Structure formats: structure tokens, C-alpha cells
A and B are shown apart, each in its own frame.
Chain A
């Protein structure tokens, strides 16, 4: 819990159900309620994009009988935003264990998004059965060598999408691999250090809880290429809960799932889906909006749960 004490975090967390604006200034996280005025301020000057993660279509369990239905609700929420997001990032685990037809269902639902583009990073659930064959046939186009990783620029921000689920090691940790690390170094070398960088990927790039595989083995070798930048925001999924960490100019944010919550690190015998009533789970799943005002603010990250009015 870097940059904010536990008590302060819990006070903030209590507001999570109504939307919270997280800002990072000088490496310290601060928060305030997401009010229409605050939202309007961001919209007037900057641009916004939305991150969704861990849609797990095909999942049926106690916490959610229909993960496709909650994804549809999320899409409806996004479409109701006062200013449409420039694009949407999906940070992986579209499907629950590559259930047959699940990729099609996700594609069908996301087709309804009112936005210009959707960018994807794969989760291990999307690739473990076939080594990524189906995922890359659908989403590899336009990525580096068709391997799923990519970068693009929007509004002066450099976005990097990394794949850390195709080189799973024996212990079940995420890994990027030599080829991708080499590419990343070359990709960011020409950029000025004042360029804001946003990295999106599936497994956390910091060591959240290695015992459950919540870590990317070679993340340090990626971060070494990013430390010189004044603002680096890392967005990931995988662990189905909101956590933040600040390391110098690098801010890490893990996102909620749109399907079901997972337990806090080490708080349960295994990281399996929490077995809680659906109405309780609605307060622990949702989506994330990121707004950016060039030259004015650091990126503001707003996590909103599905039960929000």
C-alpha cells in the first residue's frame, strides 16, 4: 500500500460503490468523489478511454449466473457516458476457459460499444487450450508480427499493449519473453521522456501475490525501459479487484472484472471466484474510465462498480 496509508485507503474504498476519482500527483495517490463537476472538468479539456477486463464469458457460478449479461450492462454503462470514450481497452480473459462460442459472444456484445476502437491484450483463459491460436487469429492482426503485442499513440500519449500469458512458466507466473522485451526497448527508445506512457496488459507487472501466480516473472526487465518517463500508468486485470501501487513515476492499477470478484491476496485457500450472492458481487465488479488533460493533470483513473446508480 505505497503512497497511501491503510486507513486512508479503506476510507476511500468505502466510496468505491459510487465512483471515485483517483489522481496521482508527485507519486502520491489522492482521491475524491466523482462528481458531475469533476467529470465535466476532465471532459472539457482532455480525452478519456475505458478499460474493461476479465469478462469471463462462459462463467456460471454463485457470484454471477450470466457473465454475458453483466458484460452487456457494462457496455450499456459505457454507451451512457456523457462523453464517449476515444477507445476501449480489454485487458484479457474475454472467455472463461475458452468455452466454445465465447469469443463470438464477446465480439457480438462489444460490437455495440459506441467508441472508435477496441484494443485487446490476451488473458491466460483466452489462450491456454490452443496456445493462442484462436485469439491471435481474431486479434493478432495489426499487432507486432501477429504476436499480440502493439503500441500506438493517441492525444500525445504512447500506449503499449503487452502479452504476458503466452510464455507461462512452470510456476504459473506471467512472462513477457525475450522477443517482446527487445521490441519494447526499441519501441520506446525514440520517445521523449516527457511523453506520458500507458501500458496495458493482463497479469500484473508488479508482484501482487506470487503464491497465486499474480506476478509477471520478467516485468522488471520491461520496467527498466520505462523508468525514465515522467508519467507511466500500467493498467492490468487478472486479479479481479482494484489495487494500486506507486513506484517512482510508475503507477500500477489492477482493474475489476466485469464477471466476478476474486479474494484479496492470501485471504482464501485459493484464488478461485468468490462464492457470494450476486447482489453482493455487483458491488465488486465493474469498469474503469481514464481521463487525461494534456499539460494539466496526470491521468485520472475512475473505477466504478456495476451496482452504481
Chain B
């Protein structure tokens, strides 16, 4: 009996927690037809950005300044990066360097 009460309390807390701090949107960049969409993503500090490669050609997410970098992403593969520092982060695809985009953290 006592165990049941404890469990319910935990459930209520969990629901309240979710309500109090709605999950921040997780911005996603689609890599399709040799382009990053959207080309510029602006996020708050601490945000995790997700890239999804929809092409059958591999692409990388490579920071121009070396701040972060993925290996070659296969079709439907994803890469995530959490941005903890303010700044402007240009990046490109190492295999197709004309593919360029930017993440702005402010």
C-alpha cells in the first residue's frame, strides 16, 4: 500500500515537471539535394541541434573553425551537437565544400 502511494507521487511530480518546463524545441537541419535547410539556425545556449541526411550521398557537418564535426553521414543517419557557448558557427560538408550553412547561438 505504501509502495503504491510513493509511485503515484512520482508520477504526479513527473507530469508537473513536464508542465513547468516545456521541452525546448530541438531544431533540426535537413540535408537534402546537397543543401542544408534551413541555412541559418538561431538557438539559445545549451540547445542541441540535429542534422538528418536524406541524400544517398554521404555528407559531413564540419565546423569551419574546428569546433565540431561529424564523420560521413549515410542516408537517414543523424548527427547532434549541443551548443554551450555563444557565437556564430559556420559549417560545411567536407565532401562537398560548397555546401555551407551557419548556427548562431545567442
Contact = CB atoms under 8 A, between A and B. Distances in A.
The answer to whether A and B assemble together is: yes
Interface of A: 59-62, 96-99, 124-125, 128-129, 168-172, 213, 269-273, 275
Given A97-B72, A128-B94, A61 B56 contact: yes
Contacts, number: 52
Interface stretch (B3-11, B18-26, B95-103): B95-103
B42 interface: no
A271 B75 contact: no
Given A59-B56, A129-B72, A124 B95 contact: yes
A195 to B, nearest CB: 37
Contacts of B33: 269-270, 272
Contact of A61 (B34, B71, B75, B94): B75
Contact of B97 (A96, A171, A270, A271): A171
Given A97-B95, A270-B34, 11 more contacts: A97-B58, A97-B74, A125-B95, A128-B95, A170-B97, A171-B97, A171-B98, A213-B98, A269-B34, A271-B57, A273-B57
Contact of A271 (B34, B58, B71): B34
Contacts of A172: 96-98
Contact of A272 (B57, B94, B98): B57
Contacts of B71: 129
Interface residues of B, number: 17
B55 A168 contact: no
Contacts of B34: 269-272
A213 B93 CA distance: 13
Interface in B58-78: 58, 60, 71-72, 74-75
21 contacts: A60-B75, A61-B75, A96-B58, A97-B58, A97-B72, A124-B95, A169-B97, A170-B97, A170-B98, A171-B97, A213-B96, A269-B33, A269-B34, A270-B33, A270-B55, A270-B57, A272-B55, A272-B56, A272-B57, A273-B57, A275-B56
A59 B98 CA distance: 22
Contacts of A170: 97-98
Tell me the dominant secondary structure on chain A's binding face.
loop
B35 interface: yes
A275 B60 CA distance: 21
A273 B35 contact: no
A212 B5 CA distance: 64
Interface in B74-96: 74-75, 94-96
Contacts of B75: 60-61
B97 A168 contact: yes
Given A128-B95, A171-B98, A273 B56 contact: yes
A169 B96 CA distance: 10
A273 B58 CA distance: 11
Contacts of A168: 97
Interface in B39-57: 55-57
A259 to B, nearest CB: 11
B69 to A, nearest CB: 10
Ranked 4 nearest A-B pairs via Cβ: A97-B58, A97-B72, A61-B56, A270-B34
Nearest to A124: B95
A269 B99 CA distance: 13
A240 to B, nearest CB: 11
Contacts of A269: 33-34
